[in-house]
Each structure stands twice: as C-alpha cells, then as structure tokens.
Structure 1
Amino acid sequence: MNENWRGAIARHLLLVIGPALLLGLISGEYAWAIVIGLCAYLSWNIRQLLRLHAWLRDRQPDEPPPESTGLWGEVLDSIYHLQRRDQRARDRLQAVIDRAQESTAALRDAVIMLDRDGSLEWWNNAAETLLGLKMPQDVGQSISNLVRNPRFKEYFDQGNYRDALEMPSPVDDNRRLHVQITQYGNADHLMVVRDVTRLHQLEQMRKDFVANVSHELRTPLTVIAGYLETLLDNGQGMNPRWQRALQQMQQQGARMQNLLNDLLLLARLEATDYPSDNQPVAIDLLLLAIKNDAQALSAGHNHRITLDADPHLKLKGSDAELRSAFSNLVFNAVKYTPDEGTIAIRWWGDEQGAHFSVSDSGIGIEAKHIPRLTERFYRVDSARASSSGGTGLGLAIVKHVLLRHRARLEIISIPGKGSTFTCHFPARQVVQRG
C-alpha cells in the first residue's frame, strides 16, 4: 500500500475520531462516543462493500461501478478506469478479429476451424459452397458426419496431415477438392479446402492422352517386333552389319514394349482408388518368389540376397499390384548394387502396422534427388538408367500401388553406402495368419 492510501486512511480515521471526541466532551462519555463513531464508520464501509458486491454480481456489460465518496470513491474510480481500459483493449481485439473474419470470408478457398474432436466451430462462406455446411445448424457437428467420404474419414482419423487429400465435393461429384489440415493450439484443427477441378481436368486429360496413345502404339509395335523376330530367325547368310542393326532394333522395340506396359499399368492404377481384388495376400510366399527372380537377375554379379519375412502376417490387397511394387524395389536394388554387394529384404509387423523394406549396399542417392524419385521419368543418372534398360516409371508405379493400399514409401539413402526403401502399411490392412 503506497503513502497516498495510508494518508487517506489516516484522514478518514481522524474524521471519525474527531467528532466522536467532541461528542464525548459534550456527554462526558468518551469511550462510548468513540465506540459509536467507529461503529458508524464500520457500517458505512460495510454498506459500500455490499454495493460493490451487488454491482459485481448483477452488473450488465459495460455498466459503470456505483459512485461513492472518500476512499471508496477512489477505489470505485480506479475500477472504472480499469474497466474503460479493458473495454478499449477488447474493442481493438474485436476489430482485429472482425477484420480477419471479413478477409477470410472473402477468400475463394474454404477455411474451417475444428476443435480437437473434429467438431465445427467456425467457417467462411466458401465452405458452404464447397462442402455444403450450413450456419448455424451445423455448429458443433462432427466434420466426419457432414463430409461423408471414406477417404476423408481415413485422412482425418489418422492424424498425419503431412500430405494433402484430393476428393470429390460432397455437394457436387464433378467438383474436385484439395483438402489440407493443420493442427494448432490445443490440438485444434484448421482445414483449408481449395477447388482444383480445373487442374484435375487437365491432369485427367493428360492421363487419358498417355493411356490412349500407349494403347494405340501397342499394335504397330507388336507388328514391328514380330517382323524383326522373323527377319532375325531367317537371317542366315545376312550381312553382319544388317544383323547387328536388326538386333539393336529388336532391343529398342522390347524397351518400348516395356515402357508402354508400364504406362498402361499406371493408367489402370490411377483409374480407381481401391484394388478390385482386395484379398489377404501371403507376403512371405510372394517375397520368396521375388527373391528367386532377383537371384536369377543377379546371375554373374554374385549379390548376397537375404530374406527375413514374418510368415504370420498377411496383407489385404491385390497380389498382382503388390508383386509389381515389391519386385520393382528389389530389382532396382539388384541393378544399382555393385558386384559382391548385399541386398536385404524384410517383412515385419509392429503396433503401427506392417512394413516391407529393401536395403542394399549400392551407389546410394543424393538427398536432393529423394523427393522427386517417385515422379514419372525422373532419373538420377540418365546415362546409367538408360544402360540398365529402365523405363523411369518403376517408382511411380510403387507410389501408386502404395496409395491404393493406404501405405506410404520412406526412402533413406547415403551416397556411396547404399539405400533403404521402406513401405509402411497401416494396421487396418494387416491380417494375422491363423
């Protein structure tokens, strides 16, 4: 308590004791006069305290405190000034909030605020257009109950929002949405939804073009390959120069056949979200067959190929698609591992799900290339990839197969020491073999 307050209290006590002493001088009862004066002063303070209590209990917003005099007047004036200062701060904060909401409402992208359980708290006008949300009846509703898309429910429930989700709009199947969720604060969610219909249409046109061209090229390429094979089979006495040319043409024709097959496979993978033959697959037996093929591919290079597969773990999915993805990873390890190198194939499970990995002691990959490895036709070393006969589509196929099986690919590589490609499958895709 500062000196001003102490002085004010001393003055108020003197104002009470002075009249009490005067009354005692007149009546001759000094003690009773002081007691009566102190009781009167105490009653007045209790009355002021009760007025303050009633104001705090029943006051309306921005209602000023009651007026008084003396020490209580100074206290109530201080409360009034604090109230006004707090009101100005709230007004400034509300102005910022209003401006933020106005600017967000003007966005063409939908912005939705969700609590930690996924219940709707606030959204802008675009969310009503893109997702069909309605104010105020949808406030407090779970977003999963209003956006009834299985892929969205999986995306929201998994809690891993590193990648975005693309899905059709709940109010218009012809409209494609790009959904990105960010967690903030107390595990609350901020969801941003963008209309990417035009980009999706352009991407679909590109896919259709590639698929159609690949399909149309198969027939003439098959005819050319057939004639080349016939010419080579009946080429006794042919000029060696012509024979070498025909052999090179046959090799390049086979390479084009592989490229078209991979392009058509990618087109089939992109056509649907789920494999049509979604059945439990015995991964240990599948990997044993792939290992045998890898050893045949490695003939003459003396690679040490090991397999460690849990026989009790099956995986729900397509046998053909999983075989294509896993063999791509294993055969790549064989192609890019020097002679006498080691290749380790593993299949195991834990509480997160099941995992498949291929580790090699090959040439490794620089970190700058890793984010782009699953792009179509992306090559770390074009000359080496061409000499190995690759199409540049292997890891793109792996990526799409894993997406269809709700899995993700992790790549760890150290140049000169080797690489590890790991496929992580969620627990819901795993089946325990009886």
Structure 2
Amino acid sequence: MLLLITACLLVGLISGYYGWSLAVGLAIYLGWTLKQLLRLHEWLRQHKPDEAPPDGYGLWGEVFDSIYHLQRRDQRVRGRLQAVIDRVQESTAALKDAVIMLDSDGNLEWWNRAAETLLGLKTPQDSGQPVTNLVRHPRFKEYFEQENYLEPLEIPSPINDRLRVQLHITRYGNNEHLMLVRDVTRIHQLEQMRKDFVANVSHELRTPLTVIAGYLETLLDNVEEVNPRWVRALQQMQQQGGRMQTLLNDLLLLAKLEATDYPSDNQPVAVDALLQSIKGDAQALSGQRNQRITLEATPGIRLKGSEAELRSAFSNLVFNAVKYTQDGGQIRIRWWADEQGAHLSVQDSGIGIDAKHLSRLTERFYRVDSSRASNTGGTGLGLAIVKHVLLRHRARLEISSVPGHGSTFTCHFAPIQIASRMAS
C-alpha cells in the first residue's frame, strides 16, 4: 500500500495530477483486492477436502497461508479423532455384548456387530428406526415406555426363541439412551435346571411325607394305645412334618410363579374386600395377644391380576407383621392410589430389622435370626413368594425398618395395573 501510494505520488509529481494519480492507483489496488476475494470465494465454494488454498502475495498471501495452516491443523485433529473412533469401533465390534445407541425418542443411531447377532439389527436399513419396531416383545415395549431402568430386562431374542438376552438401558447426554444386551442363555438354562430340580424334588417328597403324616395322625388319634414315652416324640414328629409340608407347598408355589411371566387368571381384583378377609385371618392368628390391627382401604380400586396370588403375597406380609410384633403391638394396613399407581402398606410396631439385612430379605431361605424364625414356624420363603408375585403383577416391594421401632413393607403397583378406580 505504501509502495502504491509512493508510486502514485511520483506519477502525480511528473504529470502534475496528484488526485487522478491516487484515484487510479487506489482503483487498481481495489480491483486486485476484489480479485483475491473472488479467488478465495471460489476456493471455499468448490475446493476438495484436502485441496490447499490458492497462492497469493502480500497481505492476501498471509491470509491464504493462515488458512492453509488452519486446514492442516484441522486435518491432524480430525485424524486423531478418527483414530479414536476407529479404535472404539474395533473394540466394540470385538465385544460379545451388544452396544446400541438410541436418540431421545428411542430411534436407532448406532450399534455394534453383536447387536446384529443378538437382536437381528441390519445395517444400514434399520438406522433411524424406533427400537420398539424391531424388538417387538410386549415386555420390552412396556419396559422402554415406563422409563424405569433400575433393573435389567430378560426376554427371548427376536431372532431366536431359544436364545435369552438381558437388556439394560442407561440414559446419557441429552436424554439419549445406551442399551447393553447380553446373551444369558446359559445362565437361564442353569436357572431353569434349578427350578425344575426343586419342583421335581418337591413333588416327589409330597407322597412319602403325606404317608408319614397320615400314620402319625393315626397313631396320635389312638394315643391311649401308644406307650406314653412316645407321645411327645410323635407330637414333635407331627409338628415337624407339618412344617415340611408347608415348606414343600411354598417351594411348589414358587416354581409355579416362576414358570410364567403373567398370571393365567388375570381378572380385576377388589383389593379392599381381599384385605378385609386377610385382616380377619390375621386377627385369628393373633389370638389373645391383644394386638391392634387396623385397615384403611380406599374402596373401588381394583387391580388386574390373580386374586389367589395377591392373597398369598398380602397375607404373607400381614401374617409376618403379626408374628414379629410383640403382644399389645400395633399393625396398620393401608391401601390407596395416586398418580404413581396403587400402593399397599403394612406397618408394624415390632422388633424391626437391621439395615444390613434389608437388601437380602427377599432371598430364598434367608433368615435374619434363624432361631426366631424357627420359633415362629417360618420357612424362609414368604418374602421370596411376595417378590415373585409382585414381579408378575408389575409391582415392586419397598422395605424400611428401624430396629426396636418396627417395619414397613410397601407394595407399589404401576398405574397400568389398576383395572378401575372409584371416582372421588
């Protein structure tokens, strides 16, 4: 620019037209600048990814050089990012577990090779499809729409009924979903073997146990003909035989509950009337212990499900409260509904349970205090039955307890399980 102005002044000095010389010089400079802008515009519009910017001189040469350096730096960054992406894709492709990325609406964005094997996803035609259109199992649709992903879901594979898969969904980013799918066929088979073994052994033991119990009852009915020294032994044998029969019945009930996902007799159940009946049985069980049992049940709330299974679960909770509450204690049964669903609460003022035991209470045969459980005649399967009944009725069990102040067992049923509700 200084050279141009100097040249224009020299021309003006020679010709005597300073103004015209500067005007012509600036016009030439402006034309050259416009030409460089047009070159830059043309390059930006038509250049290929790795094509360098055009050459230039002076200030425009520096501009083109700066663009070139930015371009090279961007290429290096993109190369490093692509290397990271390639490594991630290689590592996820090597996984036996399926990894699937979904957007906030549940549409497929990306998946690894195992997803094609376990779920039958196809590249690229399934990209952008709703995952519920490709995994059509009703339990998965319900699981995905409820958006409660604390526990994984186990279903048959969409491409092979003999293949069992476990799905676990995690939210991340802008309400997007990451779905992990594992092949748990072997674990499922082992679990099924265990269930079949328990069910078969329980069935096989019922017949000899029934025979033994029958002979013991016969002997005790004719106790005057029995040596007096054997009377107490026979009574204890009959008592323990009764406990064994109760245990077998509970094991068979568990096997039945685990056999299917849904109750076969899925009908609306009047829970308030059911609880009224259970309260009467609880008062009979309490006997002369002066326990105060109260029931607060909102009328008209019916649950979809099996009345026999619900009676078994609810009575287990209420009878446990009776067994583990001291004489003169209080047991409060509540049944109500709100926006979150329907709820049953059994609260007692009993001995309570230490916090370290709460997470394991629903395990089979788990005993907080084996001697206490023995004295009350429990089998250690009551809460396991409650858990499985609730799972079959799309519900969960919440347990809270303070040692020395009592316990509260609350069953939470999803709104979808409510068959009808009386207008308030």
Asked if structure 1 preserves the Cα contact closer than 8 Å seen for 2:219 and 2:226, the reply is no
Cα deviation for residue 192 of structure 1 reads: 1.2
Q: CA separation in 2, counterparts of 1:22 and 1:63?
A: 42
Cα deviation for residue 154 of structure 1 reads: 1.0
Cα deviation for residue 251 of structure 1 reads: 0.6
Match of 2:267 in 1: 279
1:179-223 C-alpha deviation (Å, 9 max, x unpaired):
111111111111111111111111111111100110111111111
Question: Could you tell me which amino acid in structure 2 is paired with residue 285 of structure 1?
Answer: A
Q: Are 1:78 and 2:66 an aligned pair?
A: yes
For 1:57, what is the secondary structure of its paired residue? helix
Question: Which stretch shifts more, 92-101 or 186-195?
Answer: 186-195
Match of 1:262 in 2: 250
Question: Which stretch shifts more, 232-241 or 359-368?
Answer: 232-241
Question: Could you tell me which amino acid in structure 2 is paired with residue 132 of structure 1?
Answer: G
Q: Are 1:36 and 2:24 an aligned pair?
A: yes
Q: Are 1:221 and 2:221 an aligned pair?
A: no
1:179 to 151, 155, 167: 167
Q: CA separation in 2, counterparts of 1:352 and 1:214?
A: 39
Task: Give TM-score scaled by structure 1 length.
Answer: 0.94
1:213-269 C-alpha deviation (Å, 9 max, x unpaired):
101111111111111111111112644431111111111011001000000000111
Q: Are 1:232 and 2:194 an aligned pair?
A: no
Cα deviation for residue 140 of structure 1 reads: 1.1
Cα deviation for residue 60 of structure 1 reads: 2.3
Match of 2:194 in 1: 206
Asked if structure 1 preserves the Cα contact closer than 8 Å seen for 2:352 and 2:401, the reply is yes
1:86-137 C-alpha deviation (Å, 9 max, x unpaired):
1111111111111110111111111111111111111112111111111111
Q: CA separation in 2, counterparts of 1:210 and 1:233?
A: 33
Question: Could you tell me which amino acid in structure 2 is paired with residue 200 of structure 1?
Answer: H
Cα deviation for residue 342 of structure 1 reads: 1.6
5 Å-filtered alignment, 1:22-421, equals 22-236=10-224, 238-421=226-409
For 1:192, what is the secondary structure of its paired residue? strand
Question: Could you tell me which amino acid in structure 2 is paired with residue 320 of structure 1?
Answer: A
Question: Could you tell me which amino acid in structure 2 is paired with residue 120 of structure 1?
Answer: L
1:144-173 C-alpha deviation (Å, 9 max, x unpaired):
111111111111111111101111111111
Question: Which stretch shifts more, 72-81 or 233-242?
Answer: 233-242
Q: CA separation in 2, counterparts of 1:373 and 1:86?
A: 58
Q: CA separation in 2, counterparts of 1:59 and 1:423?
A: 66
Cα deviation for residue 56 of structure 1 reads: 2.4
Task: Give TM-score scaled by structure 2 length.
Answer: 0.97
Asked if structure 1 preserves the Cα contact closer than 8 Å seen for 2:98 and 2:182, the reply is yes
Q: CA separation in 2, counterparts of 1:374 and 1:420?
A: 14
Asked if structure 1 preserves the Cα contact closer than 8 Å seen for 2:267 and 2:306, the reply is yes
Q: Are 1:21 and 2:32 an aligned pair?
A: no
1:8-52 C-alpha deviation (Å, 9 max, x unpaired):
xxxxx3122111101111111112212222222222222222322
Q: CA separation in 2, counterparts of 1:88 and 1:306?
A: 74
Q: CA separation in 1, counterparts of 2:103 and 2:255?
A: 39
For 1:138, what is the secondary structure of its paired residue? coil
Question: Could you tell me which amino acid in structure 2 is paired with residue 207 of structure 1?
Answer: K
Count, aligned residues: 422
For 1:391, what is the secondary structure of its paired residue? coil
How high is the sequence identity, in percent, across the aligned residues?
A: 75
For 2:217, what is the secondary structure of its paired residue? helix
Instruction: Show structure 2 runs of 5+ residues with no match.
Output: none
Change (3 A) 1:58 1:302: farther
